[in-house]
Structure 1
């Protein structure tokens, strides 16, 4: 088993981050080109807690090294199941994901949490953790190799993901400012 964790502070409010989160894999994000589709499977709002729960299927395309393909198969397309919870009252977004592809050989469980920064008003704290376990039988050396490769790939994708999300946040802020200005102008004309 290997563990991965990462923390970051976005220079955007929780409202901006929680809204832009739904556009994280949009065409503006040139750092997440490995994500080829995001399908919403279910979405519901709990009447008592007002927590929005969303289930999504994320389709990715990534090349694995040849030695790993011999264990996992040759397909470059993989699927990830994600469940997210948006708690507007507590100002907390929690996203939990699990790989579906190769899940009998490798388990990758990821958790991401966005909350307002405690030390910097107007900023958002990002906490990411993952547990990676090679489930295939056999030699421990092979399991270690698979886990180490997966952690390193996860680390690389995490950096790209943050960079891409920063771009999405910046563009979202620009678009929102333009929309506000346009609405202000229209109001003045009316």
Structure 2
């Protein structure tokens, strides 16, 4: 099992960052994201918390040696669940792969929180566990190392892409239909 962690600050208020999340795709740095479908979305009764489940479809290049193991699949699916808590100004997003999960299990947790001291700043924390589920230890280590390397590359691109989304005019105030556009 391998781990990945990433943390940085966005110089935007929590309201801007949390609203921008819904407009994150498409962007020039995440061209692999093909579609986002909202499966469930509701406010948890008695709270100020929005719960959402989304299916994310990606089309990305996968190395030939992995395609041989997995049957030449190039379209992958991820389940994303999220909770935006306006009372605590915390946004937690958990994603897991649905495709290839018999070979590789990737669980990512992203948290956006209002900075405790800096009014116009949001704290970003990202954690991922990556575990290859193959019986050969050497192959498992190779798959995990490759996956961590790819995850790091995508995290860098993800930050660049989200920075470009954040720099757009404020997404605050978009109606719910615009926020949950199903296909990107």
TM-score (norm 1): 0.87
Normalised TM-score (structure 2): 0.90
Gaps in structure 2 of 5+ consecutive residues:
173-184
Q: Which runs of 5+ in 1 are unaligned?
A: 177-190
Deviations 1:12-49 (A, max 9, x none): 110000001100113xx110100000000000111212
Give per-residue Cα distances to partners, 1:116-175, cap 9 Å, x unaligned. 1234320111000000000122x21100010011111111000000100000010133x7
1:1-190 alignment runs, 5 A limit: 1-26=1-26, 29-137=27-135, 139-173=136-170
Question: Partners of 2:2 and 2:169 in 1: how far apart?
Answer: 35
Query: Following the alignment from structure 2 to structure 1, what is the Cα–Cα distance between the partners of residues 58 and 44?
Result: 30
**In the aligned structure 2, how far is the partner of 1:88 from the partner of 1:166?**
22
Q: Distance in 2 between matches of 1:147 and 1:50?
A: 38
State the 4+ residue runs in structure 1 displaced beyond 4 angstroms: none
Which one scores higher on RCO, CA 8 angstroms, separation ≥ 6?
A: 2
After alignment, is 67-76 or 2-11 more displaced? 67-76
Instruction: Mark the structure with the bigger radius of gyration.
Output: 1
Contact 1:20 1:172 in 2 (8 A): no
1:134 & 1:34 partners in 2: Cα distance? 22
CA contact (8 A) 1:95 1:112 kept: yes
Between the aligned partners of 1:172 and 1:158, the Cα distance in structure 2 is 23
Greater helix share, structure number: 1
Q: Counterparts of 1:68 and 1:17 in 2: how far apart (Å)?
A: 35
